[in-house]
Amino acid sequence: MIVIVAPGQGSQTPGFLEPWLTEQRFADQLGAISEAVGLDLVAHGTTSDADTIRDTRVAQPLIVAAGLLTLSALFADGRRSKIGGIAGHSVGEITAAAGAGILSETDAVTFVRERGAAMADAAALEPTGMSAVLGGDESALLARLAELGLEPANYNGGGQIVVAGALDALAALAAEPVPGTRVIPLQVAGAFHTRYMQPAVGRLHDVATGLTANDPTLPIWTNRDGSSVNTGAAFIDLLVGQVSSPVRWDLTMASLADAGVTGIVELAPAGALVGLAKRGLKGVPSVAVKTPDDLTAAFDLIDSESGVS
């Protein structure tokens, strides 16, 4: 079973879409998405610098747009019928919703535009941030987080947990880390997937009422607890609540293993989830589609699984 995975915020790098835009079909698709969200994603994907594309209002639509370009290529020539399921990490769940048929491309980019704006506004209310914590004992780390008023935001598996909260508390954690851990500050604008994002939830609930939610036509798993979701309405509800609740990518990977995953294809801007899969889904072949040059390897993986030569 081949599963497609869609990355989250932080996977973007300056100029990463430039190779895609040499093909007119992708240039046209990105131009249409840019118009829909009111952002020049062509410029942001090619010439904008790292600070510009780190802005949550830019980063989230840019990442989802890149995923949609990749999906259009992967699903051409009937290959969608050969895919066993799809999952996304954080904002990548919006890409996954489009891939599963829950949201149209238009509704997906509408939702991500509002999500990025709502989360940016929530982040501006207090000085907060995020840090990746590698290694160590999870129970000891969680106890230390509680002492500092920090929260686990992303359980990424493979001994990696991203924590979030007030900047002074993150600094205290870095100064006195839990034994056996390494703390790496992340260049993000706020404490995503924590209580600090609660102001964004109400706004996104209002946005969600204007979306058309179709039931998925591909199996899809949620970050909430790794379970599969069978109705579009339920998945949209999870997308709304997700902004202030932890991303359980560890449980998502466990569910993929239980479902019998035999290969993973990561959408652009790819790399992070394939890296996590190498630790959390050891031995499962994977392809990171970073540029159109990587599509051939993705096609080969998909076609080999379905017995097509």
Burial label for 55, CB within 10 Å (0-12, 13-18, 19+), is middle
Task: Using alpha carbons, select from 274, 222, 275 the residue that is nearest to residue 90.
Answer: 222
Task: Using alpha carbons, select from 37, 56, 219, 190 the residue that is nearest to residue 125.
Answer: 190
Dihedral through CA 257, CA 260, CA 266, CA 272, nearest 10? 10
- Catalytic-role residue among 193, 244, 245, 255: 193
Q: Name the DSSP class of 183.
A: E
**Cβ contact 188:129 at 8 Å:** yes
Q: Name the DSSP class of 216.
A: P
- Catalytic-role residue among 34, 90, 245, 286: 90
Q: Does residue 193 carry a catalytic annotation?
A: yes
Q: Does residue 244 carry a catalytic annotation?
A: no
Task: Give, for 30, the enclosing helix (H) or strand (E).
Answer: helix 24-37
In angstroms, rounded to a whole number, what is the distance separating the alpha carbons of residues 89 and 84? 17
Burial label for 214, CB within 10 Å (0-12, 13-18, 19+), is middle
Q: Catalytic residue numbers?
A: 90, 193
